[in-house]
Structure 1
Amino acid sequence: NDGNIVNNGELGGGTVNLTGKNIENNDLISAAGDLSLKAENKVENKSEKAIFAGGKLSISGKEILNNKNSELLGSNIELTADKVRNEVGTIKAFNDITIKTNKFENIGEVKDLDKYESYYETWDEKIIEAGQIDDWKRIGGDYSKNKGEKAKKAHVGDYIRGKQKMPMKKLLKK
């Protein structure tokens, strides 16, 4: 072929060394001992696939891409590339992980955001829901239109902070 290594099955052994122009894992690459992947350009671990070393896992190239739900696993891991991108994948070592790169992108994923309610709690323990913030009225009208009228208009933040401090002032007077 053109120097590319494409793994579409299970590839494994005691010690494994792969060198090529590009390395693409579409299943499992494993070694009981050390595992070395060296690419001239890119090493890509496709979604939901694994690269595992019982010993040291070394991966090098211009770019290392670990896709969604894929795993890079080893006793020790060393990644060396101009760019390393872990896109909702796992990089996990029993001991040390060393990443040598100019650009590291470790992208996570947040699920079920609609199951949580957002709110703010003031320092005096009043709960304000996110939707209520837009409903706050500015005392003295729209402050942004009246910046020069200091005597007539009050900044809403000063007013709200004053209201929030009132319970504390009452406690201090007791």
Structure 2
Amino acid sequence: MKKRAALLCAAALALAALTGCSGGEPERTAEEWTDLYVQAITNHGGEMVEYNPVISRFDPEDGTSALALESLGLAEEDMEAFGASVSVMNTQAYAIAAVRPVQGKTDAVREALQGYVDRQQSSFEFYLPDQYQIAQDARLETLEDGTVLLVMCQDGDAVFEAIRGELERA
């Protein structure tokens, strides 16, 4: 009787595992994540996106994208996909970044982006009080889908929620 109960439990667990694996949404490709990030940042980043176009690939030949990623502290090998709009001018605390970390690199991505926020706060603390406040209000979170989202801009909470909402609906 105990063997039969154990076999039934094992069968039920196997069936549950198989059922859990089927019927779910297919995983997005890196290109699909990139397109989604670029669209969400472009749609909700405001006028700053016009002056700081969204970058979505690492290009050592393009000085602007290389400088932006370097200033964010992001390493190419830590990211599966990303989209970022960043001011490289030292007069604005502005950055929006959505990053899909490589498996096991979420902490490295979060640490890099938190380091960027910390540097911006330090840079503006005694320089431009309005930009210091924007840096102080920066939001950095890991979303349910694994995206690491940084928003540091004017009306940052509203921008963060709009981008998160678009990513969750997609």
Normalising to structure 1: TM-score of the pair? 0.23
Of structures 1 and 2, the one with the larger relative CO (CA 8 A, separation 6+) is: 2
Bigger share in helix: 2
Q: TM-score, normalised by structure 2?
A: 0.23
